[in-house]
Protein backbone atom coordinates (compact mmCIF):
# COMPACT_ATOMS: atom_id res chain seq x y z
CA UNK A 1 0.00 0.00 0.00
CA UNK A 2 1.36 3.44 -0.91
CA UNK A 3 2.45 5.41 2.19
CA UNK A 4 0.14 8.33 1.39
CA UNK A 5 -2.84 5.95 1.67
CA UNK A 6 -1.87 4.66 5.10
CA UNK A 7 -3.62 7.55 6.80
CA UNK A 8 -7.37 7.04 6.95
CA UNK A 9 -10.34 9.32 7.58
CA UNK A 10 -13.62 7.75 8.64
CA UNK A 11 -16.62 9.97 8.04
CA UNK A 12 -19.95 9.79 9.77
CA UNK A 13 -22.73 10.55 7.25
CA UNK A 14 -26.00 11.90 8.75
CA UNK A 15 -25.55 15.49 9.94
CA UNK A 16 -21.86 15.34 9.06
CA UNK A 17 -21.89 14.98 5.24
CA UNK A 18 -25.55 15.93 4.75
CA UNK A 19 -28.57 17.24 6.62
CA UNK A 20 -30.63 14.54 8.30
CA UNK A 21 -32.15 15.43 11.63
CA UNK A 22 -34.05 18.45 10.31
CA UNK A 23 -36.27 16.02 8.37
CA UNK A 24 -37.08 14.02 11.51
CA UNK A 25 -37.88 17.26 13.33
CA UNK A 26 -40.16 18.27 10.44
CA UNK A 27 -41.88 14.85 10.59
CA UNK A 28 -42.54 15.30 14.31
CA UNK A 29 -44.03 18.78 13.70
CA UNK A 30 -46.25 17.35 10.95
CA UNK A 31 -47.40 14.58 13.28
CA UNK A 32 -48.22 17.07 16.05
CA UNK A 33 -50.22 19.18 13.59
CA UNK A 34 -52.01 16.11 12.21
CA UNK A 35 -53.07 14.99 15.67
CA UNK A 36 -53.66 18.50 17.06
CA UNK A 37 -57.37 17.83 17.70
CA UNK A 38 -56.45 14.84 19.92
CA UNK A 39 -54.13 16.98 22.05
CA UNK A 40 -55.36 19.56 24.56
CA UNK A 41 -56.41 20.31 28.15
CA UNK A 42 -59.45 18.02 27.88
CA UNK A 43 -57.36 15.05 26.70
CA UNK A 44 -56.43 12.66 29.48
CA UNK A 45 -53.62 11.21 27.33
CA UNK A 46 -51.90 14.33 25.97
CA UNK A 47 -52.86 17.68 27.54
CA UNK A 48 -50.15 19.44 25.50
CA UNK A 49 -47.66 18.76 22.70
CA UNK A 50 -44.78 18.10 25.09
CA UNK A 51 -46.79 15.19 26.54
CA UNK A 52 -46.98 13.66 23.04
CA UNK A 53 -43.22 14.01 22.67
CA UNK A 54 -42.78 12.21 26.01
CA UNK A 55 -44.88 9.29 24.71
CA UNK A 56 -42.89 9.21 21.44
CA UNK A 57 -39.56 9.27 23.31
CA UNK A 58 -40.61 6.38 25.53
CA UNK A 59 -41.67 4.34 22.51
CA UNK A 60 -38.39 5.15 20.75
CA UNK A 61 -36.28 4.21 23.78
CA UNK A 62 -38.01 0.83 23.85
CA UNK A 63 -37.99 0.17 20.09
CA UNK A 64 -34.54 1.38 18.92
CA UNK A 65 -32.60 -1.46 20.59
CA UNK A 66 -35.04 -3.95 19.00
CA UNK A 67 -35.55 -2.41 15.56
CA UNK A 68 -32.55 -0.11 15.09
CA UNK A 69 -32.54 3.36 13.57
CA UNK A 70 -34.18 4.30 10.30
CA UNK A 71 -37.15 6.19 8.93
CA UNK A 72 -39.51 3.19 8.74
CA UNK A 73 -38.94 2.28 12.38
CA UNK A 74 -39.34 5.92 13.37
CA UNK A 75 -42.66 6.22 11.53
CA UNK A 76 -43.82 3.00 13.21
CA UNK A 77 -43.13 4.78 16.50
CA UNK A 78 -45.34 7.65 15.28
CA UNK A 79 -48.11 5.10 14.51
CA UNK A 80 -47.76 3.62 17.97
CA UNK A 81 -47.86 7.10 19.51
CA UNK A 82 -51.06 7.74 17.55
CA UNK A 83 -52.60 4.56 18.98
CA UNK A 84 -51.92 5.94 22.46
CA UNK A 85 -53.65 9.22 21.57
CA UNK A 86 -56.66 7.94 19.65
CA UNK A 87 -59.68 6.47 21.41
CA UNK A 88 -62.03 6.29 18.39
CA UNK A 89 -62.79 3.26 16.26
CA UNK A 90 -61.65 4.30 12.79
CA UNK A 91 -58.72 6.69 12.49
CA UNK A 92 -58.09 5.95 8.82
CA UNK A 93 -57.62 9.63 7.93
CA UNK A 94 -54.93 10.00 10.58
CA UNK A 95 -53.19 6.83 9.41
CA UNK A 96 -53.22 8.11 5.82
CA UNK A 97 -51.69 11.32 7.12
CA UNK A 98 -48.92 9.32 8.80
CA UNK A 99 -48.32 7.44 5.53
CA UNK A 100 -47.76 10.84 3.91
CA UNK A 101 -45.26 11.80 6.61
CA UNK A 102 -43.41 8.54 5.95
CA UNK A 103 -43.33 9.18 2.20
CA UNK A 104 -41.82 12.65 2.69
CA UNK A 105 -39.31 11.44 5.28
CA UNK A 106 -38.03 8.54 3.17
CA UNK A 107 -37.71 10.68 0.03
CA UNK A 108 -36.30 13.80 1.59
CA UNK A 109 -33.88 15.79 -0.60
CA UNK A 110 -30.17 15.25 -0.05
CA UNK A 111 -28.81 18.58 1.15
CA UNK A 112 -25.04 18.41 1.52
CA UNK A 113 -23.16 20.33 4.20
CA UNK A 114 -21.25 23.36 2.88
CA UNK A 115 -18.02 22.56 1.00
CA UNK A 116 -18.35 18.77 1.29
CA UNK A 117 -17.26 17.92 -2.26
CA UNK A 118 -14.17 20.19 -2.47
CA UNK A 119 -13.12 19.11 1.03
CA UNK A 120 -13.35 15.40 0.14
CA UNK A 121 -11.56 16.07 -3.15
CA UNK A 122 -8.68 17.70 -1.26
CA UNK A 123 -8.51 15.01 1.43
CA UNK A 124 -8.61 11.99 -0.88
CA UNK A 125 -5.14 12.92 -2.22
CA UNK A 126 -3.53 12.14 1.13
CA UNK A 127 -6.00 9.88 2.93
CA UNK A 128 -7.95 6.72 2.42
CA UNK A 129 -11.59 7.75 2.96
CA UNK A 130 -14.32 5.59 4.54
CA UNK A 131 -17.94 6.22 5.46
CA UNK A 132 -19.15 4.69 8.73
CA UNK A 133 -22.86 5.29 9.30
CA UNK A 134 -25.48 3.69 11.51
CA UNK A 135 -29.05 2.91 10.52
CA UNK A 136 -31.06 0.80 8.14
CA UNK A 137 -28.80 -0.86 5.54
CA UNK A 138 -30.94 -0.11 2.49
CA UNK A 139 -31.89 3.42 3.55
CA UNK A 140 -28.31 4.49 4.35
CA UNK A 141 -26.94 2.92 1.16
CA UNK A 142 -29.64 4.78 -0.80
CA UNK A 143 -28.62 8.09 0.78
CA UNK A 144 -24.96 7.50 -0.09
CA UNK A 145 -25.98 6.90 -3.73
CA UNK A 146 -28.30 9.93 -3.88
CA UNK A 147 -25.68 12.20 -2.28
CA UNK A 148 -23.42 11.90 -5.33
CA UNK A 149 -20.45 11.50 -2.93
CA UNK A 150 -19.91 7.74 -3.14
CA UNK A 151 -17.01 7.94 -5.61
CA UNK A 152 -14.90 9.85 -3.07
CA UNK A 153 -14.88 6.89 -0.68
CA UNK A 154 -12.89 3.65 -0.72
CA UNK A 155 -15.53 1.87 1.39
CA UNK A 156 -18.99 2.49 2.84
CA UNK A 157 -19.79 0.68 6.08
CA UNK A 158 -23.33 0.61 7.50
CA UNK A 159 -23.85 -0.69 11.02
CA UNK A 160 -26.77 -1.02 13.42
CA UNK A 161 -24.97 0.74 16.26
CA UNK A 162 -21.67 2.64 16.57
CA UNK A 163 -20.32 1.41 19.89
CA UNK A 164 -16.69 0.71 20.76
CA UNK A 165 -16.82 -2.91 19.51
CA UNK A 166 -18.10 -1.70 16.11
CA UNK A 167 -15.02 0.56 15.88
CA UNK A 168 -12.65 -2.25 16.85
CA UNK A 169 -14.25 -4.48 14.19
CA UNK A 170 -13.97 -1.72 11.58
CA UNK A 171 -10.27 -1.22 12.38
CA UNK A 172 -9.56 -4.94 12.10
CA UNK A 173 -11.64 -5.48 8.94
CA UNK A 174 -9.84 -2.71 7.05
CA UNK A 175 -6.43 -3.24 8.70
CA UNK A 176 -6.30 0.38 9.88
CA UNK A 177 -3.46 1.91 11.89
CA UNK A 178 -5.02 3.50 14.97
CA UNK A 179 -2.23 6.10 15.18
CA UNK A 180 -3.19 7.65 11.86
CA UNK A 181 -6.90 6.91 11.59
CA UNK A 182 -9.30 9.73 12.38
CA UNK A 183 -13.06 9.53 12.95
CA UNK A 184 -14.95 12.66 11.85
CA UNK A 185 -18.50 13.25 13.03
CA UNK A 186 -21.15 15.35 14.73
CA UNK A 187 -22.15 12.98 17.53
CA UNK A 188 -20.10 12.69 20.73
CA UNK A 189 -22.01 9.53 21.65
CA UNK A 190 -21.72 7.68 18.32
CA UNK A 191 -18.66 9.17 16.63
CA UNK A 192 -16.28 10.81 19.06
CA UNK A 193 -16.26 9.01 22.40
CA UNK A 194 -16.32 5.38 21.11
CA UNK A 195 -13.65 6.20 18.48
CA UNK A 196 -11.37 7.71 21.15
CA UNK A 197 -12.06 4.73 23.42
CA UNK A 198 -11.06 2.43 20.54
CA UNK A 199 -7.70 4.23 20.29
CA UNK A 200 -8.41 6.34 17.20
CA UNK A 201 -8.19 10.08 16.68
CA UNK A 202 -11.42 12.05 16.41
CA UNK A 203 -12.57 15.36 14.91
CA UNK A 204 -15.81 16.69 16.40
CA UNK A 205 -17.78 18.81 13.93
CA UNK A 206 -20.77 20.12 15.92
CA UNK A 207 -24.16 20.42 14.27
CA UNK A 208 -26.92 22.42 15.94
CA UNK A 209 -29.68 19.99 14.95
CA UNK A 210 -28.01 16.90 16.35
CA UNK A 211 -30.50 14.74 18.24
CA UNK A 212 -30.26 15.70 21.90
CA UNK A 213 -27.61 18.22 20.92
CA UNK A 214 -27.56 20.08 24.21
CA UNK A 215 -27.19 16.91 26.18
CA UNK A 216 -24.46 15.59 23.89
CA UNK A 217 -22.53 18.86 23.80
CA UNK A 218 -22.68 19.08 27.59
CA UNK A 219 -21.43 15.52 27.85
CA UNK A 220 -18.49 16.28 25.57
CA UNK A 221 -17.68 19.44 27.56
CA UNK A 222 -17.66 17.38 30.74
CA UNK A 223 -15.46 14.69 29.21
CA UNK A 224 -12.99 17.25 27.89
CA UNK A 225 -12.93 19.14 31.18
CA UNK A 226 -12.43 16.08 33.32
CA UNK A 227 -9.96 14.38 31.02
CA UNK A 228 -8.80 16.42 28.01
CA UNK A 229 -8.03 13.96 25.26
CA UNK A 230 -4.82 14.33 23.27
CA UNK A 231 -6.42 12.73 20.21
CA UNK A 232 -9.54 14.94 20.11
CA UNK A 233 -9.78 17.84 17.65
CA UNK A 234 -12.69 20.21 17.00
CA UNK A 235 -13.62 21.83 13.68
CA UNK A 236 -16.49 24.25 13.18
CA UNK A 237 -16.99 23.10 9.59
CA UNK A 238 -15.74 20.44 7.18
CA UNK A 239 -13.73 23.00 5.22
CA UNK A 240 -11.47 23.53 8.28
CA UNK A 241 -10.44 19.89 8.33
CA UNK A 242 -7.67 19.79 5.66
CA UNK A 243 -5.63 22.54 7.35
CA UNK A 244 -6.38 21.20 10.83
CA UNK A 245 -5.13 17.74 9.88
CA UNK A 246 -2.12 19.16 8.04
CA UNK A 247 -0.98 20.67 11.34
CA UNK A 248 -1.44 17.42 13.28
CA UNK A 249 -0.25 15.02 10.55
CA UNK A 250 2.32 17.09 8.63
CA UNK A 251 3.65 14.15 6.59
MG1 LIG B 1 -24.28 11.95 12.54
Compare 68 and 86 and report the one with higher pLDDT.
86
pTM: 0.88
* CA distances (Å), origin 147, targets 109, 133, 151, 154, 191: 9, 14, 10, 15, 20
| 132 Cα to the center of ligand 1, angstroms | 10
d(CA 33, CA 38): 10
For residue range 11-68, list pLDDT tens digits in order: 999 999 999 999 999 999 999 999 999 888 888 888 889 999 999 999 998 888 888 8
Percentage of the chain exceeding pLDDT 90: 71
Q: How far is the CA of 135 from the centre of ligand 1 (A)?
A: 10
**Residues 158-201: pLDDT tens digits?**
999 999 999 999 999 999 999 999 999 998 889 999 999 999 99
What's the CA-to-centroid distance between 240 and ligand 1, angstroms?
A: 18
Residue 212, phi-psi category: left (phi > 0), alpha (psi -120 to 50), beta (remainder):
left
Amino acid sequence: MAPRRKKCLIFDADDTLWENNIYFEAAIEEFLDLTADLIGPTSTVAPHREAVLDILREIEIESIPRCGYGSCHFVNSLRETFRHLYTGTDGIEYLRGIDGIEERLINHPMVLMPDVAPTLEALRRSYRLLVFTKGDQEEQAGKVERSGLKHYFDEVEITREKHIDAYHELVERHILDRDCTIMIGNSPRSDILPALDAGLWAVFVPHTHTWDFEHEAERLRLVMKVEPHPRLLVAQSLSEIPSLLARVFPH
